[in-house]
Amino acid sequence: MKSTFSKIFTAFFLLIPFSSHAQFHIEGQVLDAETELPVQAFVIRVDSTEYPFSGGTFHLQITQIPSQLIFKAKDYYSFSLRISSGTTKISIRLLPENVNIQEVIVKAFQSGKRLFDTPGSIGLISNRDLLREPAFALAPSLNKIAGVWMQSGSINTNRLTIRGIGTRSPYGSNKIRAYYGDIPLTNGVGETTLEDLDLEQIADIEIIKGPSSGFYGSGLGGVLLFNPVKPVRSQFAQQVSIGSFQTIKYTGKLVIASPNAGHSLVYNQIHSNGYRQNNETDRHNLTWTSTVTKNRTKIDLLAAFIKMDAFIPSSIDLKTFQETPQKAAANWAATRGYEDYSKAFGGISVVQTLNKNGQVKISTFGQFNKNNELRPFNILQEKNHYLGFRSVLEKKYSTANATTRLLLGNEYFNENYQWQTLQNKNRIAGNLLSDNLEFRWYNNLFFLTDLNFQEKFLVSASLNWNQTSYNYEDHFLADGDQSGKHRFNPVISPRLAATWTVSEKFKLYSVVSHGFSPPTLEETLMPNGQRNTSIKPETGWNIELGTKASIGKSISFELSAYYMKVRNLLVARRTAEDAYMGINAGATNHPGLEFKLDYKLIDRPMWSTFFRMNANLTRYRFAEFVDNGNNYSGNKLTGTPATTTNWMLETTNSKGLFLNLHYQTVGRMPIRDDNSLSSDAYYLANLMAGYEKSFRNLSISLSSGVQNLLNTHYTSMILINASAVGNQAPRYYYPGLPRNYKSMVSLRYSF
């Protein structure tokens, strides 16, 4: 099976000589030095003759012993091996160049197409990109993608937005769906926690920008696909990273693999004292993955356990942000506020190939989460678990002039969520303040078809039918029984995308898609305990036109223009320090331009250097927005910058040296709906360098980097429309990290 990393390559080797014979025999395997996956297509050059091989293995037999063999593969550094014996068995590891990511095969929409051929705007982050980042968090990697913006208040507090969708979520990520393999990470009300994932176990991240309800359900902003690393080669690996603020991270990995099966166990632990007061964090991750293939059946298993203990510094006011940003909010510091939670999730997927043109995939998944949060105003205790399944039937039909692919699928999800609040009496739980039980369920029935005409036109059409329901039980009756049910009307969401191949190196694409995001049950509750039965899901239409092209062998670029109209905008209006209610307050417009460029500056046998840049230019506005008697129509959308740019220089040497430089600019962000206050624009510079080498079965990697090289003082996350509590000033700001450092050493032994 072709890996998404089959374009990222270069070389290390292991040589085991055997006795010579009359003829020269040589056999072995060629692997990617970073992923340990087989290199699918390569050649061995003997003098002036080239012998092609595929599948990662070779068996070469010639009449004379050559002085050397040259191993070559596209996007890998060539490797020369001197020969001194008649019969040799070898294992070659090719070291990758910096790759043109447009050539990578993506898994989005289960199409198996190159990123270059896929209709739509999709961002891609490889495992290499994640690990060559001078940060311990996910946000800096995601923020390298145009149109994607992840604000980070601390390791355990983040908010992700895509093209301006999700800015209204106070402390987390909402209206964006995420999958870890085939397992949804998004709960029954559209909230996703991304910060507790183990980055070392992620093969790559695909980011579908814009509504994709036709295949992935209710994600108005888009979808993140976290593809787990597949166990393919037996090995033991250890990795230790140390950084500023007494941060240390350890990863241990054991992989047992055979031709038809692979099993991987990974343990990850991170501790940090944090930059700010009351900012200590401890997180443990344990992840198990297995892949078993037999005949036409493939089974994937995934199980993960996460234990997080994190203190909460919270947001601060302007004066504290400017003068003493390392301080925590006074009330959170006084109570030593924190959250601790345990989470376990897992699933099993079975893919049965029916024939060469059909297959069926059935997945079942579940999650359990228990959380305890100590807050200045009360103590929150939560438990939730969900179960679900996803099934997809795929069939292909081919004629002389066209190929048609049909998919029919269903995703069902059932969640039980229980939460209580209790008095905080000197950090000890006091009397019960509320006791709630909520049942959430949804069902997505979806259909997708691709039609490819004469390799020139690709049309992809999909349709999703969603039914979402909540059932709320109030178990605290001192203030009356607020129990009730809420079922939203079914939502039908289509998506139509097309690609026109103008030439081999120039493609045009267009997308028209519909998305929606239902309100949470909490947003349907009003301060008096009654339910707002008239509240509606947010819905939006997205129109996008774009082009993907390359010039020669060195330059590729992508340009996309999009416009999204969101109606029934859900606004979280604060009713108390820890309470919000939702209202439909109008509509927003999301027009924007995204540009991405990859330029191969140096393409030599020993060196490969890429210059990459991207930019996002937007004009997000409230089209119709009246809240609490105030008319904000025409104002800028809060919580998202109008412009962001990324400038990256990535260079790799065939000996294993690499250096990455990243410069980012971020525009001003409105903090209040009336646009009376905005955060300052800022720029960040990051640097990462390292060295990779292999000795027989042992591979070693050393790297070190600096985040915020220029020591910029900036806001890494804002709390929009924050209100003053008592005589305190509003606390809008989460300060970004000052200049900080990270060093890493990694050892990998293959057997």
CATH label of the domain that carries residue 168: 2.170.130.10
Residues 486 and 541 in one domain: yes
Instruction: Give the total residue count for the chain.
Output: 751
3-class DSSP state of 570? strand
* Confidence (pLDDT) at 281: 96
User: Could you tell me which residues are beta bridge partners of residue 397?
Assistant: 404
Residues 415 and 434 in one domain: yes
Tens-place pLDDT, residues 604-627? 878 889 999 999 999 999 998 887
Phi and psi angles of residue 649, each rounded to the nearest 5 degrees, phi first: -120, 120
Residues 90 and 106 in one domain: no
| DSSP H/E element including 215 | helix 213-216
Inside any domain, residue 578: yes
- The helices-and-strands tally (H runs, E runs) of the chain is 6, 46
Cα 657-658-663 angle, rounded to 5 deg: 160
Phi and psi angles of residue 668, each rounded to the nearest 5 degrees, phi first: -65, 150
End residue of a domain, out of 178, 197, 228:
228
Q: How many domains does the chain have?
A: 3
DSSP state of 631: E
Question: In Å, what is the CA distance from 498 to each residue of 59, 117, 118, 223, 458?
Answer: 43, 10, 9, 19, 5
Encoded tokens for 348: 């099993």
* Confidence (pLDDT) at 23: 66
End residue of a domain, out of 50, 69, 94:
94
* Confidence (pLDDT) at 88: 66
Matching residue, tokens 């790297």: 703
**Which residues of the chain register pLDDT less than 50?**
1-22
Inside any domain, residue 6: no
Instruction: Determine the structural domain holding residue 34 and report its residue range.
Output: 11-94
Phi and psi angles of residue 536, each rounded to the nearest 5 degrees, phi first: -120, 155
Inside any domain, residue 3: no
Encoded tokens for 361: 């995939």
Beta carbons within 8 Å of 168's beta carbon, 6+ residues apart: 174, 569, 570, 571, 572, 638, 639, 720
Residues 193 and 281 in one domain: no
Inside any domain, residue 46: yes
Phi and psi angles of residue 709, each rounded to the nearest 5 degrees, phi first: -55, -35
Inside any domain, residue 4: no
Residues 108 and 87 in one domain: no
Phi and psi angles of residue 330, each rounded to the nearest 5 degrees, phi first: -60, -45
Residues 162 and 278 in one domain: no
Burial class (CB in 10 A: 0-12, 13-18, 19+), 198: buried
Tens-place pLDDT, residues 322-346? 999 999 999 999 999 999 999 999 9
Residues 584 and 652 in one domain: yes
Residue type, 346: G
End residue of a domain, out of 203, 228, 253:
228
Q: Exposure pattern of 24-51 as b/e (b: 16+ CB <10 Å)?
A: bbbebbbbbbbbbbbbbebbbbbeeeee
| The model's pTM | 0.87
CA distance 410 to 444: 6
Encoded tokens for 238: 């250890």
* Confidence (pLDDT) at 12: 35
Inside any domain, residue 2: no
Among 584, 559, 563, 557, which residue's Cα sits nearest to residue 573?
A: 584
Residues 80 and 150 in one domain: no
Contact 1, 68 (CB under 8 A): no
Contact 459, 450 (CB under 8 A): yes
Residues 214 and 291 in one domain: no
3-class DSSP state of 640? coil
Encoded tokens for 416: 């039980």
Q: How many CB atoms lie within 10 A of CB 568?
A: 18
Contact 124, 118 (CB under 8 A): no
Among 122, 149, 108, 151, which residue's Cα sits nearest to residue 590?
A: 149
User: Could you tell me which residues are beta bridge partners of residue 281?
Assistant: 272, 310
Alpha helices in 570-628 (DSSP H): none
* Confidence (pLDDT) at 579: 57
Encoded tokens for 274: 């944090």
Residues 422 and 520 in one domain: yes
222-228 and 176-180: which strand pairing? parallel
Inside any domain, residue 45: yes
3-class DSSP state of 641? coil
Residues 651 and 739 in one domain: yes
Contact 390, 409 (CB under 8 A): yes
Residue type, 720: I
CATH of the domain at 90: 2.60.40.2190
CATH of the domain at 470: 2.40.170.20
CA distance 697 to 65: 26
Contact 96, 73 (CB under 8 A): no
Contact 10, 654 (CB under 8 A): yes
DSSP state of 672: S
* Confidence (pLDDT) at 55: 81
DSSP state of 616: E
CA distance 522 to 482: 12
Inside any domain, residue 21: yes
CA distance 741 to 686: 10
319-323, long-range: CB < 8 A, 24+ apart: 319/729, 320/733, 321/715, 321/733, 321/735
Q: With the CA atoms of 15, 21, 24 and 28 taken in that order, what torsion angle do they form, in degrees rounded to the nearest 10?
A: -40
Residues 413 and 510 in one domain: yes
Among 339, 404, 396, 346, which residue's Cα sits nearest to residue 372?
A: 339
Q: Residue 215 region, left (φ>0) first, then alpha (ψ -120 to 50), else beta?
A: alpha
Burial class (CB in 10 A: 0-12, 13-18, 19+), 443: middle
Question: In Å, what is the CA distance from 567 to each residue of 165, 218, 310, 402, 500?
Answer: 12, 15, 37, 38, 31
